[in-house]
Amino acid sequence: MRAPSGRGLSRLGIAWLASLVVAGLGSPGAARELWRDGERSLEFRGSVRQIVNHTRATDASQFAEAAASDPACLVPATFASCAAFDGLGDKRATQGLTRLRLRLDATFSDRISARVDWDNEFLVGTLGTLFGEAGPADTFFGWEEEIHAFGLKRARDHRRWTTRIYRGFVTYEGERLELRLGRQLLAWGTGRIWNPTNRLTFVPPLSIEADQALGVDSLDARWRLSGFSYVQAVYAPGNRSDEARMALRWQGVVRDVDLSGLVGVFEEAPVVGFDLATNLGDAALRVEAAWTDPEKETWPVGAPAPSEPDAFLQLVVSADINFDIGNGIYALVEHLYNGNALGHGRGTAGALLPFFASTDQPPPSAVGSGLPGPFVEPAGTEIFATSLVVSGSEHLTAFQLGYEPTAALATDLLVIWDWDGSSVAFFPQLRFTGFDTVELSLGAQLFVGPRHSEYGDRQNLVFVQAELFF
């Protein structure tokens, strides 16, 4: 069972959107109080973000047409050499994303408050790329919608308007009990690059928008024990009973060590995990681990039959330090062991092969063709066994350096080394912040390595990001 559809979101009205923008003007970088009556209040703030990126991509519709017309692409025995994969990355792609975010914070009493962040995203350029920008996700509350007004239609494949509630929750804060219901951020783990214990709102290491994590529709209950210790219970229903996620987590401090332990069931897979953070001289040491026992069957391409994956361990060990050089240099090294690594594939399919699975259901193009089953289809999320840490390699090591020449200027370089495929990802960024109201970023993602490796099949990318707060 799920909540009612979010198809009425767009009916919130252009007038409300415009009035909020006008109300926010003249209050740059800070919340603007719209109303107050004793303890009750209503505040507004907003931002506009523009991102332009250029890379090489794959047109999803062209790939599907090429795969459907080639019998070798329909059955597992020959799928690894499907000729459609020869066209990967053959299309120059420039995308522009404009996001208007409007935020309301309401206080009803000293114990009850609420927050709503409403996003309107306008995407133009080369859309519909393989494993690229998708339409609105299917969530429990259904607070998202793709708008087809003003001639905007997905079929035109070059512009898209999406509206969603980015955050939307009500909070109760008692003496010891805290309850939060709605779409919220639940960020677990101590790792800086990877978080295997975070099964709800993890952000990939190479995400251009590392500060953007879509919330999860859930109930979060916390009971404060003493000091910095508390017990947390979370339930996220999903759209079906087999998508439900629930966990019990303890967090506290033992001597000088920050500790947390986690037990839960995520999409029918039991998970046990922990993380810790402590000081090691002038450096900080972090360890995070999660053990998962998948119960959903998967049928990888090439396997004789579907089966339940083996239990696996994911482990992160990291250390970071600030060196007193100039204004300070930040350095981080972090290693991931991923016991659920998908491998790098073979044939022309390359690193994408593990993202496809076998099925007894023929695609429309194979009906009546006489081809023997099984057939091939895009794999579902069960291949990840609930983990949001997805990699082809078992071992990855990240190095990060950060330096701020001035209070307004910051530089950062992230390098990730793939031990299994001998490939490397470079992610440099330059950021500028001015007047507390404007942020500018310039960055690139550069990949080096052989085909059929973690990063050897990826396409280089450059981007510019600008954000104005009001």
pLDDT of residue 367: 79
Contacts of 99 (CB under 8 A, 6+ apart): 48, 49, 50, 51, 119, 120, 121, 122
Lowest mean pLDDT across 28-37, 128-137, 383-392: 128-137
Between 158 and 109, whose confidence is greater? 109
> Which CATH number among 2.60.120.200, 2.40.160.100, 1.10.1200.10, 3.40.605.10 corresponds to the domain 9-469?
2.40.160.100
Q: pLDDT at residue 26 above 60?
A: no
When pLDDT is averaged across residues 381-396 and rounded to a whole number, the result is: 93
Sequence spans of domains, the chain: 9-469
Q: pLDDT at residue 426 above 50?
A: yes
Report residue 131 as tokens: 């494993």
CA distance 247 to 262: 7
pLDDT of residue 58: 78
Report residue 18 as tokens: 């415009």
Q: pLDDT at residue 462 above 70?
A: yes
pLDDT of residue 135: 55
Report whether the peptide linkage leading into residue 374 is cis, meaning its omega lies within 30 degrees of zero. yes
Q: Tell me: the pLDDT tens digits for 440-459?
A: 999 999 999 998 899 998 99
pLDDT of residue 156: 53
pLDDT of residue 362: 87
Q: Tell me: the pLDDT tens digits for 227-266?
A: 889 999 999 998 888 899 999 999 999 989 999 999 999 9
When pLDDT is averaged across residues 95-116 and rounded to a whole number, the result is: 97
Classify strands 312-323 and 283-292 as parallel, antiparallel or unpaired: antiparallel
What's phi and psi for 241, nearest 5 deg?
-60, -30
Lowest mean pLDDT across 57-61, 110-114, 342-346: 57-61
CA distance 382 to 385: 5
Q: pLDDT at residue 10 above 60?
A: no
Which residues make beta-bridge pairs with 10? none
pLDDT of residue 154: 57
Lowest mean pLDDT across 234-248, 283-297, 368-382: 368-382
pLDDT of residue 19: 42
Full-model pTM: 0.90
Q: Tell me: the pLDDT tens digits for 141-171?
A: 999 998 887 766 655 557 889 999 999 999 9
Specify the DSSP class assigned to residue 62.
H
425 confidence band (pLDDT: 50, 70, 90): very high
Q: pLDDT at residue 127 above 70?
A: no
